[in-house]
Amino acid sequence: MLKNDILLRSLLREHVEYTPIWLMRQAGRYLPEYRKIRELAGSFMSLLTNPDYACEVTLQPLRRYNLDAVILFSDILTIPNAMGLGLSFTDGLGPSFSRKIRTEDDVKRLLSVPDMNSLSYVFDTINLVKNELKQQVPLIGFSGSPWTLACYMIEGQSSKDFSNIKKMLYSRPDLLHKVLEINTESIIQYLNSQIASGVDAVMLFDTWGGILTGTAFKDFSLAYNKKIFDSLNRTVGDRRIPIVSFTKGGSLWLKDIVKSGCDAIGLDWTIDMSEARHITSDAVALQGNLDPLALLGDHSLLRAEARNIIESFGFVGNGGHVFNIGHGLTPSTDPDAVAELIEEVHSYSRLFHV
């Protein structure tokens, strides 16, 4: 049994004593201990695919901070890499694929759902982390969404305008749907394998869902996310596995996301917690939503921003709020600012829990 299960209780809207907190990219380049392991590994891919290194990096933030969860150190692009698209990372440029999916022939050559054995390094990392955690806090697993994976698979890398995938969307939607169907089935198997390996909650990162129109979001992103949520093993023994759905730039579609079957919705910083809570009518938990760049400023103002978010969410009968940032921590984040944020959230939020 977990010694600290407050994150899971809050995601399932059960009673909690304070607002739990974890941070996207809490294991990353802002930590000197991470940079040492990254240098030792030699490359990001070597770090990513070595369970010993990935386990160490996953646990580093918990050794430094009083966090309520750790998130598996991995990457959203492990599935396309397992499909044979040739993932690599370049410092300063980010991820890229040696093969792109642009034509019907490309889709035909695309591997179908990859053998999960090709992703065994992820599940081995989970086993190592769970053994080292000794039930201290929950472990969060994750995947990119079908749409977000498709963005990278079709563009070949990140993009300013995503013109290639949008061209496919508006000229060959049938072809794009084939890619999304393959991605969806792959993600279902991948996340269920993570759950079987021991993760306590899962999160779907729909990082690029916000670039779509409202209609396209429902057809090309949300419909596939819903199929994933409907297909996950949400109960393992006596454990319930909460599901968090995060669409960056997705605040306009909260009413639709609520109906997708997730337990919680991750929010970026473009909407007030009070408004999001009103729209969702406490039907799901909410996660967020500090601007990550607030951690680059004055620490007293950072504490004030944290209080504003807690006050905006308001008083809590049951759980329902997990404090987080609206996207990942940046490499220039001050580690001391992270410590102050966690302390402020833990202390101030107790005033709002009855």
pLDDT in tens, 264-317: 999 999 999 999 999 999 999 999 999 999 999 999 999 999 999 999 999 987
Q: Cis check for the bond before 324: say yes or no (omega within 30 of 0).
A: no
Per the CB < 8 A criterion, the answer to whether 221 and 144 are in contact is no
How does strand 87-90 pair with strand 94-97?
Answer: antiparallel
Place of tokens 């991820």: 95
In the predicted structure, residue 112 carries a pLDDT above the cut 80: no
| 28 assigned to a ligand binding site | yes
Place of tokens 């806090």: 137
pLDDT in tens, 305-332: 999 999 999 998 777 999 999 999 999 9
| 29 assigned to a ligand binding site | yes
| 102 assigned to a ligand binding site | no
| 152 assigned to a ligand binding site | yes
**Distance separating alpha carbons of residues 341 and 233, to the nearest angstrom:** 34
Domain architecture of the chain: domains with CATH:
6-352 (3.20.20.210)
pLDDT in tens, 205-247: 999 999 999 999 999 999 999 999 999 999 999 999 999 999 9
DSSP conformation class of 211:
G
CA-closest candidate to residue 266, choices 203, 354, 183, 185: 203
Classified as helix, coil or strand, 243 is: strand
In the predicted structure, residue 111 carries a pLDDT above the cut 80: no
CA-closest candidate to residue 23, choices 352, 348, 339, 349: 339
| 327 assigned to a ligand binding site | yes
Reading the block at residue 157, the tokens are 């890398």
Mean pLDDT of 53-81: 97
| 75 assigned to a ligand binding site | yes
- Residues assigned a catalytic role: 25, 29, 38, 75, 152
In the predicted structure, residue 93 carries a pLDDT above the cut 80: no
Per the CB < 8 A criterion, the answer to whether 145 and 77 are in contact is no
pLDDT in tens, 29-38: 999 999 999 9
| 170 assigned to a ligand binding site | no
H runs (alpha helix) in the chain: 6-11, 32-41, 44-49, 51-64, 78-82, 104-109, 120-133, 146-155, 163-171, 173-197, 214-217, 223-231, 254-258, 273-280, 299-313, 335-348
Name 290's bridge partners.
Answer: 325
Give, in order, the Cα–Cα distances in Å from 277 to each of 6, 36, 265, 288: 20, 41, 10, 12
Would the pTM of this model clear 0.95, i.e. be above it? yes
pLDDT in tens, 329-342: 999 999 999 999 99
**Distance separating alpha carbons of residues 351 and 354, to the nearest angstrom:** 8
